[in-house]
Structure 1
Amino acid sequence: MMHDTAPAYGLWSLVIVNSVVFILFAYSFFKPQTARDWRSFGAFSAFLVALFVEMYGFPLTIYFLSGWLQSHYPNVDWFSHDAGHLLEMMFGWKTNPHAGPFHILSFIFIGAGFVLISAAWRVLYDAQQTRSLATSGPYSYVLHPQYVGFIMVMFGFLLQWPTILTLAMFPVLTVMYVRLAHTEEQDARAEFGDAYVRYAADVPGFIPKLSRVFGTESTGGYRHG
């Protein structure tokens, strides 16, 4: 991360490097194969590019809100790089924003999201090789763990560095993932028939049952490991 002694913005090389690194990192976890996979991955990549453009290139959100921010928080240098951590600045945490609670929480969401995407891909890949229904691992908790993972990663980045553009993109991409998930459900129902109907009746789409997460639910037909 940059500090106030370095140029705050206009660092387009960092925009490119960070975008490429995180997109390739996400690719290594998700490994898109179908056209539907590439659409979801492309939308996520666009979110990352928009994020890093404002983080290192041009702070559109800061410029747009500068009058309001300066009048309400006059002791903050809003054009320093650290000030881009808007939530940390606005809540006035007396610490380096990179060690603030929102920043730490963002890393938890981002890390957990990537782990979930990776774990779900391994289960899905194995199921595809045998043309069977993916129901183990993350798929025993939710129907669409990879989409949940993408949403968690995006939410984590919003906690760390919220911008007008990414805040606008987040609900749009979430709706897109939900629609893609419904399409996948129709395809799976057509391919696996009653087996998928029983599975979908037992497992939520996006939000896992707390009783299952904490192991207090009696083991059902699709609960694994």
Structure 2
Amino acid sequence: MTDPGTAYGLWLLVFINSAVFIIFAFSFFKPQTSRDWRSFGAFSAFIVALFTEMYGFPLTIFFLSGWLQSTWPDVDWFAHDSGHLPEMMFGWRANPHFGPFHFLSFALIGGGFWLISVAWHHLWSAQRRGVLATTGPYSRIRHPQYVGFVLIMAGFLVQWPTLLTLAMFPVLVWMYARLARAEEADSRSRFGDAWDRYAADVPAFIPQRWSSLVGANR
């Protein structure tokens, strides 16, 4: 079996990739309140855990190596590309970077960053005017930035699932849901009836299909 040190132990890549994605997310999200920093900090922890296993130490591969090797004996599970577990398990033996799971991952990650970026622009504009953010993504869902973070994390899980990030994912989703509820309480106290009308028409996290049709007819 290949020495895992030949494919892992690349701690400089762990640092560089973690820093790039965290700074990239920071430039879009621009945390301001303590609540913003908690949500951003949780996302950053997920990113560091992901790249630690991707380039540093393959903890998941070590834990599952017996089952993986007995089930797929022709795969070198300590080769770096084998960390793309869905591609390997479903039998795509070509370069996993050009497999269907990788393309799905890029779509989710790109969509998440796009949603966070666009949502921040509309939120910042509304905050400057002292009004409730109801335009752009906020016309479809009440918490587009949190949804964006969840999409990014889901995209990374599709690309490179690990035991730690799989365990972290539902906890972070739950945390974002709680933060969203706390934000809603603040918005209700600040905007009153305007918030109640907005919340009655716009779902929190998952856009309603009919909302696009309604918006097209207005």
After TM superposition, the score normalised by the length of structure 1 is 0.93
Higher helix share: 2
Look up the equivalent residue of 1:79 and give its one-letter code. Answer: F
Gaps of 5+ in 1: none
Distance 1:204 1:93 in 2: 38
Look up the equivalent residue of 1:17 and give its one-letter code. Answer: I
C-alpha displacement of 1:217: 2.6
Look up the equivalent residue of 1:143 and give its one-letter code. Answer: R
Look up the equivalent residue of 1:209 and give its one-letter code. Answer: Q
Partner of 1:123: 122
Distance 2:70 2:42 in 1: 36
Distance 2:49 2:169 in 1: 11
Q: How much identity, in percent, do the aligned residues show?
A: 69
After TM superposition, the score normalised by the length of structure 2 is 0.96
Partner of 2:214: 217
C-alpha displacement of 1:15: 0.4
- Cα gap change, 1:85 to 1:110, in 2 (>3 Å): same
Q: Does 1:37 align with 2:19?
A: no
Name segments (4+ residues, structure 1) moved above 3 Å: none
C-alpha displacement of 1:42: 0.2
C-alpha displacement of 1:130: 1.1
Give the CA RMSD over aligned residues: 1.5
- Cα gap change, 1:192 to 1:219, in 2 (>3 Å): farther
Partner of 1:136: 135
Distance 1:218 1:62 in 2: 48
SS at match of 2:205: coil
- Count of aligned pairs: 215
Partner of 2:190: 191
Q: Does 1:56 align with 2:55?
A: yes
Partner of 2:94: 95
Deviation track 1:19-77 (CA, whole Å, cap 9, x = no partner) reads: 11110000011000110000000000000000000000000000000000000000000
C-alpha displacement of 1:219: 5.7
Distance 1:22 1:219 in 2: 35
Q: Does 1:208 align with 2:201?
A: no
